[in-house]
Structure formats: structure tokens, C-alpha cells
Amino acid sequence: MISPDKVREEAKKRENENFKFRTFLKCHVDEDELDSQFLRLHKELFADYDCSKCRNCCKMYKGSIPPEDIDRDAQYLGISPEQFIDTYLEKEEFALNYQTKHKPCDFWQEDGNCKLGDCKPNSCKKYPYTDQPERLSSLLSMLDTIEICPVAFKIFERLKQEYRFRTRR
């Protein structure tokens, strides 16, 4: 697996190739088949990967907290919802969700754990979304994800091998 601190650089080097592969998938691949390929590779490659040694998804994004999580998260941290918002969050005028004030996310801890524990947002639990349906319509955001997540990067590389993409061109 590629090292978390090298993944952006390597993804940038393959930017053109990855965009062409995305177009190839869009034109040639069945949606359900692609979902099952992603799911299989997701299970295989995350099985022995220790995310606590990476946490690029916490370091390279701000945290995104939906308003409906605020009371629960504040209670988990033992503070009031107002204190929770004042201490950790900000919100742009028309945005749906709050964002953490800083990047890395304010809830990221040096040991790799999230300060919100199991109360972390669903979007964090689902990241990098490689086991979720509708991969075919999410391929553009996948191109961003493979600049952040070493496992998603590897999944994309394995898909290229399985479609023998390099030898097709």
C-alpha cells in the first residue's frame, strides 16, 4: 500500500491517466458490476489496513458536522451545545453543515482516534465511500478521494489492472 504521505503526489502524477480511466468506466461498465467490484476490493484491501496509522481523511479535510449531530456530540464531550459550537465549529451563511474551525479536523487526535468516538459523523464513518452503491455516478469525486486515501488509491489501481486499462490504450 502506498504511504499516506505520498498518496497525493502519486495521484497527481497519474491525474490524466485516472481521468481517462474514469471516462472508460463511464462508457463501458455496468453500474451494478462496478459496485460489486468496488465492494470486493474495499473488503479485501481494508481488511488488514490500520486506518489509525493514516488518518489523511482527518488531517486533509476540515470535519463536517451536521446540525442534527450537535446535541449528541456535545453530550458525548460533556459540554453544552453552545460551548460545543463556540469551541470547535463555524458555519458559512448558506451551508447545511457546520465545519470544524481548523484543518486537520479539530477532533483528530495524535493517536489516530477521533475525539467524538462513535459519535463521529456518518460521512466520516462512510469515507472513502468505496463500499457504497452508485460508484459509477460518483467517479468524479472518487478522483479527489484517491488523492487523500491510500486504500482508495489502491482500489483504483487494482481496477485498472482488472480492466487491463494500460494495455487497452
Return residues touching ligand SF4 (CB under 6 A).
4, 51, 54-58, 63, 105, 107-108, 114, 116, 120-121, 124, 127-128, 148-151
- CA atoms within 13 A of residue 23's CA, in its CB half-sphere: 7
Outline where DSSP puts E strands in the chain: 64-65, 89-90, 98-100
- Closest distance to ligand SF4 from the beta carbon of 51 (Å): 3
Task: Tell me whether residue 34 or residue 58 sits nearer to ligand SF4 (CB atom).
Answer: 58
Residue 32, helix vs strand vs coil: helix
Task: Tell me whether residue 57 or residue 139 sits nearer to ligand SF4 (CB atom).
Answer: 57
The span from the first CA to the last CA of the chain, in angstroms, equals 25
Residue carrying C-alpha cell 479539530: 106
Task: Tell me whether residue 21 or residue 129 sits nearer to ligand SF4 (CB atom).
Answer: 129
- Closest distance to ligand SF4 from the beta carbon of 159 (Å): 16
- Closest distance to ligand SF4 from the beta carbon of 122 (Å): 10
Cα(159)–Cα(1) distance, rounded to whole angstroms? 15
Strands 89-90 and 98-100: antiparallel
Task: Tell me whether residue 68 or residue 164 sits nearer to ligand SF4 (CB atom).
Answer: 68
**From the centroid of its chain, how far is CA 86?**
26
Task: Tell me whether residue 120 or residue 160 sits nearer to ligand SF4 (CB atom).
Answer: 120
Which of 156, 125, 154, 122 has its CA nearest to residue 138? 156
- Closest distance to ligand SF4 from the beta carbon of 169 (Å): 28
- Closest distance to ligand SF4 from the beta carbon of 56 (Å): 4
